[in-house]
């Protein structure tokens, strides 16, 4: 392959990627991944594929040549059956190979390829791929591999809706959270970003809502929110990832809170929810007639500590308003006579219709 590339006249190519496509370098590298006896060489071939597959043409070649099946087989981890004998001529994969395979999978499913991007063969293999990623993130000791697994799962949850059911059936989220809890190092804002983005993608699917409303997952989401909200990063990349992480968490909780049943369930887990939300849920803060002097000192102390921009403040206010409505509904169910007494003592509010209209318009803008 190298000799072929050396003899090509590159004047007619816009980039080196076009030369790789014409010489079918993807097919050749896949053969190396399958047949070479040295694990280090196979790992280098996978790394080369991740470098080449940065455009639609080589990714199409990869899918057409069965590249997804190769990745699927590499990700399979032995250990399910201790008495199972290895197949004849079966290649034993190293941790380095698996990491490079996950890197390749993350590359070809990245969001920057566009919303219409698809990979041939991915839908048919997604169940086994998710299973392999789940087992790999549990057994790996490498922080980089863990981050790549989270990124690959995030990409799959965005590209293939069927991956949502595989993630739920293999309890991938629970195992990912447990793995993070066991680790003292390698837990970065980029890892949080990938996980909460995966949860947001799943929150767009109503069939996943009951799974995401589990106390352990809500606890993780809000723990990540509290942890990242107060951190100050020195690099621009980390700071931007932090902002994306916070926004995604707010959007995810908002999606879940829109369901009346799940909204009630979230309120029963209020010990897990960020304190910033519940400062906004106090009677003084949610009342439309509340004045600045009526708000509690804790509210202002919290407000001063939070580095809020306008957009994030709107997200928090909207989510707090949704949870407040669910809180009032739950209170009315528990004390049905309380609502009637309040209505008798309430004074009519001016411009109530306009206020409701503005709230509905704001809600539509968030949804």
- 323, 260 Cβ separation under 8 angstroms: no
pLDDT cut 70: percent of the chain above it: 63
Give 241: exposed, middle or buried? Use CB within 10 Å, 0-12, 13-18, 19+.
buried
Q: Give the mean pLDDT of the chain.
A: 77
- CA 207, CA 228: separation in Å to the nearest integer? 28
The pLDDT tens digits of the residues spanning 115-170 come to 888 999 999 999 999 999 999 999 998 999 999 999 999 999 999 999 999 999 99
- 34, 70 Cβ separation under 8 angstroms: yes
- CA 101, CA 47: separation in Å to the nearest integer? 8
The pLDDT tens digits of the residues spanning 214-242 come to 888 888 888 888 878 778 889 999 999 99
Write down the domain spans for the chain: 217-347
109: pLDDT strictly greater than 70 = yes
Q: Bin 230: left if φ > 0, else alpha if -120 < ψ < 50, else beta.
A: alpha
pLDDT at position 274, please?
Answer: 56
**DSSP summary character for residue 79:** -
- Apex CA 35: angle with CA 30 and CA 100, to 5°? 50
Query: Is 188 in a helix, a strand, or coil?
Result: coil
For residue 297, the tally of other CB atoms under 10 A from its CB is: 7
200: pLDDT strictly greater than 90 = yes
Give the chain's largest Cα–Cα span. Answer: 90
Could you tell me the pTM of the whole model? 0.76
Cα torsion 77, 81, 86, 92 to 10°: value is 20
Please choose, from the candidates 180, 318, 312, 316, the residue with its C-alpha nearest in 3D space to the C-alpha of residue 243. 312
pLDDT at position 302, please?
Answer: 47
Residue 1 banded pLDDT, cuts 50, 70, 90: low
346: pLDDT strictly greater than 60 = no
pLDDT at position 341, please?
Answer: 52
Please choose, from the candidates 232, 164, 151, 152, the residue with its C-alpha nearest in 3D space to the C-alpha of residue 192. 151
Give 346: exposed, middle or buried? Use CB within 10 Å, 0-12, 13-18, 19+.
exposed
For 269, 336, 366, the CA distances from 306, given in Å and listed in that order, are 22, 37, 21
Euclidean distance between the first and the last CA atom of the chain, given in angstroms as a whole number: 52
DSSP H or E run through 248: helix 236-257
294: pLDDT strictly greater than 50 = no
Residue 24 banded pLDDT, cuts 50, 70, 90: confident
């Amino acid at each position: 392959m190298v000799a072929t590339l050396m003899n090509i006249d590159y004047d007619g190519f816009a980039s080196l990627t076009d030369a790789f496509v014409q010489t079918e370098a993807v097919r050749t590298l896949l053969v190396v991944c399958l047949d070479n006896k040295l694990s280090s060489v196979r790992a280098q071939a996978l790394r080369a594929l991740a470098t080449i597959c940065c455009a639609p043409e080589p990714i199409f070649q990869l899918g057409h040549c069965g590249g997804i099946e190769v990745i699927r087989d590499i990700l399979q981890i032995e250990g399910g059956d201790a008495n199972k004998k290895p197949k004849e001529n079966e290649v034993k994969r190293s941790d380095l190979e698996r990491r490079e395979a996950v890197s390749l999978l993350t590359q070809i499913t990245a969001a920057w390829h566009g919303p219409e991007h698809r990979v041939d063969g991915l839908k048919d293999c997604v169940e086994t791929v998710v299973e392999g990623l789940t087992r790999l993130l549990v057994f790996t000791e490498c922080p980089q591999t863990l981050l790549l697994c989270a990124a690959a799962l995030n990409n799959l949850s965005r590209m293939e809706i069927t991956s949502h059911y595989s993630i739920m059936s293999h309890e991938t989220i629970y195992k990912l959270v447990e793995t993070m809890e066991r680790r003292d190092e390698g837990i970065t804002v980029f890892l949080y970003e990938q996980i909460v983005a995966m949860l947001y993608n799943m929150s767009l699917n109503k069939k996943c809502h009951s799974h995401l409303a589990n106390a352990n997952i809500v606890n993780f989401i809000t723990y990540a929110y509290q942890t990242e909200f107060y951190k100050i990063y020195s690099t621009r990349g980390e700071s931007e990832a932090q902002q994306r992480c916070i926004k995604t968490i707010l959007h995810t909780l908002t999606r879940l809170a829109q369901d009346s049943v799940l909204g009630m369930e979230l309120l029963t887990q209020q010990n897990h929810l960020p304190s910033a939300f519940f400062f906004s849920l106090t009677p003084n803060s949610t009342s439309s007639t509340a004045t600045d002097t009526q708000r509690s000192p804790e509210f202002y102390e919290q407000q001063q500590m939070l580095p809020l921009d306008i957009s994030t403040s709107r997200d928090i206010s909207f989510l707090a308003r949704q949870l407040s409505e669910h809180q009032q509904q739950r209170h009315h169910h528990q004390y049905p006579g309380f609502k009637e007494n309040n209505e008798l003592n309430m004074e009519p509010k001016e411009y109530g219709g306009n206020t409701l209209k503005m709230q509905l318009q704001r809600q539509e803008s968030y949804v």
